[in-house]
């Protein structure tokens, strides 16, 4: 796919630099808010810590979790709670996902990926579609991931695709192989469906 760039062996600081440059450009291009979506799990948080060391106008940044576990925000598994703890002291706004929200277009949709090919909380068992009329869904993964055995709330494929750019950060050989197989149509996991429909630039840091 011509729109996909894979950058290998990139450390967290270098990814944070890339994000700061991209967000800086978006902030300079307008005087209004810049809205992004950010993954949960374990991978993004050290990158976000490094990102927040950059000198940007964080008060104009609006952060949407791409997905969350259906737990209170003060639960250790809450993506939203962890994002709030990092971004809010810098002055950024963090949105709580609910099924009622109207979803904006994102300057950047940053995603992780599971070894089952799930993105956000769009797990294979939920058969996520690029033409889903909904923008946010509640769902139950099956099987439940042992490290986070909770119901989920998630942006849908069309909500993620309504973005100027897509960013993946995936760590480990197993995930790298699944991502590359998705690019060449070797499976139909959620990541493959998203990449198959993406027209915007996609950057994948491994």
CB of 117 to ligand LXAUTJHC, least distance (A): 11
Nearer of residues 57 and 132 to ligand LXAUTJHC, judged by Cβ: 132
Q: How many CB atoms lie within 10 A of CB 184?
A: 9
Peptide bond into 143 cis (omega under 30): yes
Task: Please report, for residues 36, 80, 92, 122, the alpha-carbon distance to residue 86 in angstroms, rounded to integers and kept in the order given.
Answer: 15, 10, 9, 25
Q: Identify which of 130, 189, 124 has the alpha carbon closest to the alpha carbon of residue 155.
A: 130
Interaction pattern, residues 75-114, with ligand LXAUTJHC; x per rule: CB under 6 A: ----x--------------------------------x-x
Question: Is 66 a residue that touches ligand LXAUTJHC (CB under 6 A)?
Answer: yes
Distance CA 189, CA 32 (A): 36
Which of 19, 26, 36, 39 touches ligand LXAUTJHC by CB under 6 A? Answer: 39
Nearer of residues 114 and 128 to ligand LXAUTJHC, judged by Cβ: 114
Question: Is 43 a residue that touches ligand LXAUTJHC (CB under 6 A)?
Answer: yes
Q: Give the residue at shortest CB distance from ligand LXAUTJHC.
A: 41
Q: Identify which of 202, 115, 105 has the alpha carbon closest to the alpha carbon of residue 155.
A: 105
Question: Is 41 a residue that touches ligand LXAUTJHC (CB under 6 A)?
Answer: yes
Q: Give residues with Cβ within 8 angstroms of 39, minimum separation 6.
A: 65, 66, 67, 79, 110, 111, 112, 120, 169
Which residues contribute to the site for ligand LXAUTJHC (CB under 6 A)? 39-43, 66-67, 79, 112, 114, 120-121, 148
């Amino acid at each position: 796919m011509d729109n996909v760039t894979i950058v290998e062996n990139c450390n967290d600081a270098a990814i944070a630099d890339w994000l700061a440059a991209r967000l800086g450009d978006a902030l300079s291009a307008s005087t209004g808010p810049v809205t992004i979506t950010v993954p949960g799990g374990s991978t993004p948080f050290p990158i976000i810590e490094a990102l927040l060391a950059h000198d940007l106008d964080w008060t104009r940044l609006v952060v949407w979790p791409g997905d969350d576990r259906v737990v209170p925000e003060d639960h250790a598994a809450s993506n939203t709670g962890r994002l709030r703890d990092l971004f809010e002291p810098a002055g950024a706004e963090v949105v709580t996902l609910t099924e009622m929200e109207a979803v904006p277009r994102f300057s950047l949709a940053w995603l992780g990926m599971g070894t089952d090919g799930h993105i956000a909380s769009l797990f294979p068992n939920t058969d996520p579609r690029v033409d889903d009329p909904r923008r946010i869904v509640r769902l139950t993964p099956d099987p439940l991931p042992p490290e986070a055995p909770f119901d989920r709330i998630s942006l849908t494929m069309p909500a993620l695709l309504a973005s100027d750019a897509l960013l993946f950060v995936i760590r480990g050989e197993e995930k790298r192989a699944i991502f590359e197989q998705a690019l060449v149509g070797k499976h139909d996991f959620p990541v493959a469906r998203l990449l198959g429909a993406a027209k915007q630039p996609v950057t994948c840091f491994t």
